[in-house]
Amino acid sequence: MTARTIRVGILGNGNIGEALVDRIEAQRGDLAARTGIDLEIAKVAVRTMDELRSTHLAADVVTTDAMSICVDEGIDVVVELIGGVEPARTFVLAALGAHKPVVTANKALIAATGTELFDVAVSTGVDFLFEAAVGGGIPIIRPLRESLIGDRITRVLGIVNGTTNYVLTRMTEEGSQFGDVLAEAQRLGFAEANPAADIGGHDAAAKAAILATIAFGTTVVADQVYTEGIDDVDAELIDRATRLGYVIKLLAIVERVDDGADTQTAVRVHPTMVPLDHPLAAVRDSFNAVFVQGEAVDDLMFYGRGAGGGPTATAVLGDVIDAARNLVNGTHADVGRLVPAEIRPIGELTSAYYLDPEVVDRPGVLRAVAEVLARHDVSIRSLEQIDAGGGARLIFITHIAREADIQAVRRELADLDVVVDVGRLVRVIADA
């Protein structure tokens, strides 16, 4: 078999870009023998002349003009590793417009403008692949798109941000405080200097939007994702969760909700209490995992490194080979028909809940609190009372309830004279 040469143009020379170049150079011969595809790194776009001078790449391969790669007739496949929405979007549109398959690891780009890019890819008939955008090295987009296409996916629960999972794991296992662990994670390079997008849940929200789009065939953008970060999770809350048999994880949750004739998409990111015997509970440190539930396939989980040059470059390279094979075969992958999602409002979501109001410790108080819950159809699965300074703290886990009802309960509890502090609200995964 004679290998067919495919010329790859790479936009961006950061961590992932360097790992990708290394992988291609290390595996080139082996890949050609196994797949018949000979990958040639034709061009790499760097951002600055300084970067250009520091690279070990040949001078005629490197350029600071990313757009020239997108429109170069000698380039077969374009890999976008710049990150962020612009100018990445402009380059991707130019490459797709020039009928070049595009591979990207850019979750922000897809979560913000995926619909537009999918449409252009479909209408120009070229591949637009993004396995690395969710879960880094974990194969999840391809299994959802291809392996599970015959099933009806009902729910996806994802630990899709390594920084927050690292912070929560260290807090849980060592009893450390949030600020200390975050500082340590920054020192070790696990957390960004500005960790707001991770800690605030926005990185996970972008991935939730992509997962919902692929799992349900409905286009969801990041702005439609209800998002809470882990800012308010402290050692005390983690300790209470542990004693109740839960571990706190920042989950991206996407659900298909059939409401009569309507099918809605529920999509949210927030700290969640996960039962200790749930497979997601064992996902520690900076590892990611995506737990998928389907009507026929039942429970699945995909686990691995959600970030890092090597893992992410592996996912990118899998897509590059796929695009190259499709070019050779004169075909292209198909995202399938996507329809706009009807987003279920957060108030209509249902979940089990953890509540821990602090109350004055005198007769009749529990009755007053229980009346508020009953009035809003919130039933109690477990209740524990613990001392709290002069008063008492009531630790409730509810049965499945409607979010709007829980929020009404909290407003009314806050108005009761006997309630000192309305306490926290944490959503709880009820089924192991």
Q: Point out which residues bind its own copies (CB under 8 A).
A: 1, 19, 23-24, 26-27, 30-31, 33-36, 131, 137-139, 142-143, 146-152, 217, 277, 279, 281-284, 287, 294-305, 308, 310-311, 313-318, 320-322, 325, 329-331, 334, 336-337
For CA atoms 45, 334, 147, 140, give the dihedral sign. Answer: positive
DSSP 222-290: GGGSEE--STT--HHHHHHHHHHTEEEEEEEEEEEEEETTEEEEEEEEEEEEEETTSGGGG--TTEEEE
Tell me the closest approach of the beta carbon of residue 292 to its own copies, in angstroms: 8
Query: Can you tell me which residue has the tokens 């040949």?
Result: 58
Taking each helix axis from N to C end, the angle separating 235-244 and 162-174, rounded to the nearest 10 degrees, works out to 70
The DSSP bridge pattern shows strands 358-359 and 419-421 to be: antiparallel
Question: With respect to its own copies, which residue has the nearer C-beta, 90 or 331?
Answer: 331
Tell me the closest approach of the beta carbon of residue 79 to its own copies, in angstroms: 12
322: left (phi over 0), alpha (psi -120 to 50) or beta: alpha
DSSP 74-85: T--EEEE---SS
Question: With respect to its own copies, which residue has the nearer C-beta, 167 or 283?
Answer: 283
Tell me the closest approach of the beta carbon of residue 401 to its own copies, in angstroms: 29
Question: With respect to its own copies, which residue has the nearer C-beta, 146 or 384?
Answer: 146
User: What's 330's DSSP letter?
Assistant: T
**What whole-number distance in Å separates Cα of residue 427 and Cα of residue 399?**
11
Question: With respect to its own copies, which residue has the nearer C-beta, 5 or 90?
Answer: 5
Question: With respect to its own copies, which residue has the nearer C-beta, 318 or 391?
Answer: 318
Tell me the closest approach of the beta carbon of residue 184 to its own copies, in angstroms: 20
Asked if residue 185 lies in contact with residue 160, where contact means CB atoms within 8 angstroms, the answer is no
Catalytic residue status for 207: yes
Tell me the closest approach of the beta carbon of residue 154 to its own copies, in angstroms: 13
Which residues are known catalytic residues? Answer: 207
